[in-house]
Amino acid sequence: MPLYDVRCTACEAEVEVFAWTADRLYPCRACGAPVEKLPTARVSMRPDSIPGGLVLENLGSRPVKVESWSERKRIMRDRGLVESVRHVGARGSDKSVHTSRWT
């Protein structure tokens, strides 16, 4: 459930609330007046370490065990691998990622 910063339109109290959507914010807990969502930038961070490690089996003839996401990224970069598949449009197509192979 997302976390929103809101301000009361009457008493100007600022609080953080959990809500399914910003459209359904509840009234101020202090005075009952409507609240407005404040512009905020949330940062999501995951730790670099991978507890127990991660075994990458399809990188070559032997599995490779990595202990951190940065180590995984370095190994993939060193081997010329990318994280996800890029779409390359067919020659003569409209180059759309969604419509290159309509039959």
9: in domain: yes
Q: What is the pLDDT of residue 10?
A: 92
Residue type, 64: V
Q: State the pLDDT at residue 3.
A: 77
Q: Judge whether residue 8 has pLDDT over 80.
A: yes
Q: In the 8-state DSSP scheme, what is residue 103?
A: -
Give a yes or no: residue 84 inside a domain.
Answer: no
Q: Is residue 61 part of a domain?
A: yes
Residue 87 in any domain: the answer is no
Distance spanning both ends of the chain, measured CA to CA: 41
Q: How confident is the model at residue 73 (pLDDT cuts 50, 70, 90)?
A: very high
**43 occurs within a structural domain:** no
Q: Is 88 inside any structural domain?
A: no
Tokens of 40: 């905020």
Tens of pLDDT, residue by residue over 9-54, are 999 888 887 776 656 777 888 898 988 888 777 666 788 999 999 9
Q: Residue 21 falls within a domain, yes or no? A: yes
Whether 27 and 53 map to the same domain: the answer is no
User: How many domains, in total, are found in the chain?
Assistant: 2
Q: Is residue 22 part of a domain?
A: yes
Domain that holds residue 28: 3-37
Write down the pTM of the prediction: 0.42
Read off the pLDDT band of 75 (50, 70, 90).
very high
